[in-house]
Structure 1
Amino acid sequence: MNAIARRWFARNSMMAILGLALLGSGASGSPTGAQAAETGPPAKQIFGAAKLPAALPARAIGFYSKGCLAGGVAIPADGETWQAMRLSRNRRWGHPDLIALVERLSREAAAHDGWPGLLVGDIAQPRGGPMLSGHASHQVGLDADVWLTPMPDRRLNAREREELSATSMLDKGTLYVDPDIWTPAHARLLIRAASYAEVERIFVHPGIKKKLCDTWKGDRSSMGKIRPYYGHHYHFHIRIKCPPGASGCRSQNPPPAGPGCDASLAWWFTDEPWAPAEPETDDKPKPAKREIRLSDLPAACARVADAPGPASEAEATFRVDPVGNPVRNSGSESSTVKGFAPLPRVVPLPAWRPRD
């Protein structure tokens, strides 16, 4: 347990956190469980301070923007067809199904789409949950950011991974893709990512979506998963569905039918999405924005925050089997890491993983 969470749980029992018991008495003035939870540290401090995953079976808990992650695994810093960026953030942890999909995309795009490899950005914190800065989503280990900059033909050093900037696909000062930067390989990469059955959505800038609508001549059956949204011109965002049979994990509703090259896309090229917010006319002081607390997350997240870390910090080497499952190499035997499977005694920490 991280130090902040340890101090919190030392003062407040799990029963109080979950609000199941320990109702305060009027005579003593003791707080109720709900009141105690309100006085704890913000959830982003608890989850942001965790350096290692919860030693629990792999499980995505809650919704993409309100939940946590048990039994997370980290994508290694380097593979033959990917490199992880911004390593200091410690945000390359995810559900095993997501890690397997990102690695699969990296291999297949390199083999078939002319894309040399992925530069992988933020996935999730070791235990998911709200982040100290940045994303509102990425909380359950089912979201991953992939740069729209292709991987170079050399291994980046630590400083480059922290300081190198991704390349915007837009013509400066416009909402449209720069034809001198965009390539057919970008389109093939995005269409492949959307084609996987596990993928729920791919978020891109509206200009990128329009470019695909205007130029893609192949199969458009999965194009509707590619959704226009603010930002996302330096990277695209992969979101996968809750793993099959998952309990307590909530996916989004399916996107509308069709490729999405209709009025819903045209709206992004009107003034309305980009208009500044209307100024406040009420001069009354506004209450301070309330921080999200552990009690605001699904109840199971209290257990994730309180769970012990790995039994060993030794690095584990993984490979991916032919159907895309991460497999732990342990001498003469291998065990497949799947959602809800028992967590291996040695948690997979970041390590270079060669392809079979």
Structure 2
Amino acid sequence: MTPRLLLIPLLLSILAACTTTAWAQDKGSLNPKPLPPLANPNDPKIGAKELFARKLLPAAMPTQSIGGYAKGCLAGAVQMPLNGDTWQVMRLSRNRYWGHPDIIALLKRLAAKVHKDAGWPGILVGDIGQPRGGPALSGHASHQIGLDADIWLTPMPDHKLSREEREEMSAVMMVRDDRLDVDPRVFTPGHVLLLRDAAQEPAVQRIFVNPAIKKALCREARGDRSWLSKIRPWWGHDYHFHIRLKCPPGSPACEGQKPQSADEGCKPSDLAYWFKDSVLHPKPPPKPPKPRPPMTLAQLPAACKAVLRAPDAKQ
């Protein structure tokens, strides 16, 4: 599980793109303004994120996850209901509460399990994906094919949140200031049950958490610990965790990841890398890296053009 040193520049670029700790903290807008029309939407050099971000509704097509988690799109997305008995969706102004029906069903199921097992009122759902998937203007490099979702590590309050609370409420930091372990004042046995319930879902491919949270799970999990193999340490993720599904049946163009090793990933050697001072407190590069040009529509799977151009699904 220890990344090689040669991968550090790549991983840091991914970190900057999609896994900082801020996404659950970034506030939304009470009065979001529509994006202005593009002067030349057919320009082949324009970023695909500009095109997908301007689609406010799903494509009227059969459901398909197309391409990879960080390079694809989604046809026939469905909406996560904004309110349920055991869940509420946050940051509504982002319009990222769309996904493949399988992840929407899983989130509902998980919310009910956590209510029963951990005694939480429910869960707070962060970003899932855009109405047609694809790259987003901000926040994530993945979440493109409707199979990723962020779940806050803050329990749902016992009341219906106002629109203002959904846009401006902050998630709770779960990691100590020194980044070496969880904060026992806020990380509870309920969090262990939440992550266990999520990882025990058969369709789940991976779950990304802060390394300190993985460390705590390794220490505190009891009984059947096989689910720990799906819990992967990754940068950020100290306010929320990221759940990812396997490619679902009926999506032949979906590009999944290799199956997880059955190993728990709890050996000291598995975790040592993440707690090096050079990893916890990386020095900035001598020269800021040049920003990469945005991914274009031509770089996505060819089927994404049809997804983008399809009429809006009826709601």
State the TM-score, normalizing by the size of structure 1: 0.75
Shift in Å, 1:236: 0.6
1:155 is aligned to 160
Aligned: 1:57 with 2:62? yes
In structure 1, which of residues 289, 292, 302 is the aligned counterpart of residue 292 of structure 2? Answer: 289
2:41 is aligned to 8
1:45 partner SS: helix
Query: What is the percentage of aligned positions where both structures have the same residue?
Result: 53
Shift in Å, 1:140: 0.5
* Aligned counterparts of 1:180 and 1:161: Cα–Cα separation in 2: 24
* Aligned counterparts of 1:167 and 1:113: Cα–Cα separation in 2: 17
Would the alpha carbon gap of residues 5 and 256 (structure 1) be closer, same or farther in structure 2, given more than 3 Å must change? farther
* Aligned counterparts of 1:245 and 1:129: Cα–Cα separation in 2: 19
Shift in Å, 1:186: 0.4
Aligned: 1:123 with 2:120? no
In structure 2, which of residues 151, 176, 179 is the aligned counterpart of residue 174 of structure 1? Answer: 179
1:176 partner SS: coil
Letter in 1 for 2:286: P
In structure 2, which of residues 111, 115, 119 is the aligned counterpart of residue 114 of structure 1? Answer: 119
1:301 is aligned to 304
2:232 is aligned to 227
2:41 partner SS: helix
Shift in Å, 1:45: 0.5
* Aligned counterparts of 1:305 and 1:64: Cα–Cα separation in 2: 17
In structure 2, which of residues 216, 219, 224 is the aligned counterpart of residue 214 of structure 1? Answer: 219
Question: Is the Cα contact below 8 Å between 1:47 and 1:127 reproduced in 2?
Answer: yes
* Aligned counterparts of 1:183 and 1:253: Cα–Cα separation in 2: 31
Extract unaligned runs of 5+ from structure 1.
10-35, 314-356
In structure 2, which of residues 279, 284, 292 is the aligned counterpart of residue 273 of structure 1? Answer: 279
Letter in 2 for 1:289: R
Question: Is the Cα contact below 8 Å between 2:128 and 2:146 reproduced in 1?
Answer: yes
1:210 partner SS: helix
Question: Is the Cα contact below 8 Å between 2:41 and 2:51 reproduced in 1?
Answer: no
2:3 is aligned to none
1:98 partner SS: helix
Question: Is the Cα contact below 8 Å between 1:117 and 1:151 reproduced in 2?
Answer: yes
Shift in Å, 1:273: 2.4
1:352 is aligned to none
* Aligned counterparts of 2:170 and 2:178: Cα–Cα separation in 1: 18
Equivalences for residues 1-356 of structure 1 within 5 A? 8=41, 37-38=44-45, 41-262=46-267, 263-274=269-280, 275-280=282-287, 289-310=292-313, 312-313=314-315
2:205 partner SS: strand
Would the alpha carbon gap of residues 245 and 70 (structure 1) be closer, same or farther in structure 2, given more than 3 Å must change? closer
Larger Rg: 1
Extract unaligned runs of 5+ from structure 2.
1-34
Would the alpha carbon gap of residues 5 and 240 (structure 1) be closer, same or farther in structure 2, given more than 3 Å must change? farther
* Aligned counterparts of 1:302 and 1:4: Cα–Cα separation in 2: 18
The alignment of Structure 1 onto Structure 2 pairs a total of residues equal to 279
* Aligned counterparts of 2:275 and 2:62: Cα–Cα separation in 1: 45
Shift in Å, 1:245: 4.1
Question: Is the Cα contact below 8 Å between 1:175 and 1:207 reproduced in 2?
Answer: yes
Question: Is the Cα contact below 8 Å between 1:66 and 1:139 reproduced in 2?
Answer: yes
* Aligned counterparts of 2:66 and 2:36: Cα–Cα separation in 1: 23
Question: Is the Cα contact below 8 Å between 2:226 and 2:262 reproduced in 1?
Answer: no
State the TM-score, normalizing by the size of structure 2: 0.84
* Aligned counterparts of 1:135 and 1:288: Cα–Cα separation in 2: 15
Instruction: Give the superposed CA RMSD.
Output: 2.0
Greater shift, 106-115 or 43-52, is seen at: 106-115
* Aligned counterparts of 1:188 and 1:269: Cα–Cα separation in 2: 24
* Aligned counterparts of 2:92 and 2:253: Cα–Cα separation in 1: 30
